[in-house]
Every structure is written in structure tokens, then in C-alpha cells.
Amino acid sequence: MKYYILFGPPGAGKGTQAKFIVEKFNLMHISTGDLLRKEMAAGTPLGLQAKQLIEGGNLVPDEVVVGMIKSTFASNKDVNGFLLDGFPRTIAQAEKLDQMLGEQGEKVDKVISLAIKDETIFKRIANRALIEGRKDDADPATIQNRIDTYHQKTEPLIGYYKEKGNYCEIPGEQTIEEVFSCICKELE
Ligand code: AMP
């Protein structure tokens, strides 16, 4: 079983690239953001708990997302592999993932990181707000908080995975096709 992580700040193009990657490499896409938005839309207790945090641009608690990942792994034993998008976002989540995979004799095979500048993040998210209508994309203060949260809590994962030797970085400001072609070279 293959385990890949698609890493990067909000607006780096993870969701767009994930669609192409899972199709070409026959993987299951797990986006914790999509899973949380589904819970919110369904009005579940978990969705209600997450709503305020997400709409303020804050992370939901580690246990919540780790639980979602765990149950998705458990109910998809027959797939070729997984592409994790938006998870892990903290060192604690990464450690939990390593522990979970280690218990099954598995590991993270590769971390593909899409690198873009903060100004580009801002522009892309504001533009996405017009297309997808996500509340957490609409307010500049929320976007800024997501960028700050990324730098504070998520960026340290770069060092974590570099040390493990499975990290690769791709310039995310190229065209969608160019970014995908770089990703394919890494995964082929
Ligand atoms: P995304 O669609 O990946 O941009 O995620 C949207 C929002 O969901 C984030 O801003 C967080 O509030 C929440 N979220 C998604 N994934 C995680 C995660 N791994 N850890 C904590 N919060 C998350």
C-alpha cells in the first residue's frame, strides 16, 4: 500500500493536483478539509464542533482529524494507496500518522510539497471564494489567519519530513500542467 502526502499552504493547488494524481496513480484521495465540510453540511455534532474553528481560519483538534483518517484507512483496505491532502497539519498529527502506519508495517512513501509565496496564496484564495463559495475563503482576516497558522503550525513539518528523507518540493507557481508534470516525475 502506498501512502503519499500532498503538502502546502492553503491555496497552493493541492485540491486541483490531487484530482489528477489519484486518477493517474489509482489512489484514494483523502482531504480532511472535504471530510470536515461534509460533516458541516450534514450538521453532525462533529461538523458543528468544527464549523466555528474552520470559519475562523483555525485548525480543528488533532484527535478529530486523526480519528477521521483512522476510520477512512480502516474502511478502505482494498485500495492501491492513499493520497493525503491537508493532513497532517501539525507535528502531533504527523507523529500519530507515523505511529498508525508503523503498526501496520507501513510508512509515508513520499511528501510532495507545493511551494508558493504568501501574496499568491492570498490572491488564489480570494479568487476561489468567488468560485466555490467557501466561507473561510471570503474574509481577508480569516485568510490571513490561515496563512499565519500554516507558518506557525504546519510549516515545521517540512523539517520533520526532510529529516526522514521522503520530502520533495515543487514550485507551485507554474501552470497546473507544469506542476502536475513535476509531480508525475516524482511519483513515477
Ligand atoms: P482545507 O480544505 O484543507 O483548506 O481545510 C479547511 C479547514 O479545515 C482548515 O482551515 C482547518 O480549519 C480544517 N482542517 C482541515 N484539515 C485539517 C487538519 N489536518 N488539521 C486541523 N484542521 C484541519
Residue 39 pLDDT? 96
Segment 48-53 mean pLDDT = 95
Residue indicated by cell numbers 508495517: 105
Torsion angle, CA of 132/137/139/140, rounded to 10 degrees?
A: -130
Tell me the three cell numbers of residue 24: 493517474
Query: Ligand 1 pocket: which of 36, 51, 124 to mutate (most atoms <8 Å of CB)?
Result: 36
9 Cβ closer than 6 Å to some ligand 1 atom: no
The CB-side HSE value for 187 (13 A sphere, CA atoms) comes to 29
Encode pLDDT of 16-30 as tens digits: 999 999 999 999 999
Please answer whether residues 169 and 31 qualify as being in contact, where contact means their C-beta atoms are separated by less than 8 angstroms: no
Residue 40 pLDDT? 96
Question: Residue 85: which pLDDT band, with cuts at 50, 70 and 90?
Answer: very high
68 Cβ closer than 6 Å to some ligand 1 atom: no
Segment 66-76 mean pLDDT = 96
Q: What is the overall mean pLDDT for the chain?
A: 96
92 Cβ closer than 6 Å to some ligand 1 atom: no
Q: Which residues contact 135 (CB under 8 A, 6 or more apart)?
A: 54, 55, 142
For every residue of 29-62, DSSP letters joined together read: EEEHHHHHHHHHHHT-HHHHHHHHHHHTTPPPPH
Residue 146 CA, closest ligand 1 atom number: 10
65 Cβ closer than 6 Å to some ligand 1 atom: yes
Ligand 1 atom 5, closest CA:
33
Tell me the three cell numbers of residue 26: 489509482
Stated pTM of the model: 0.96
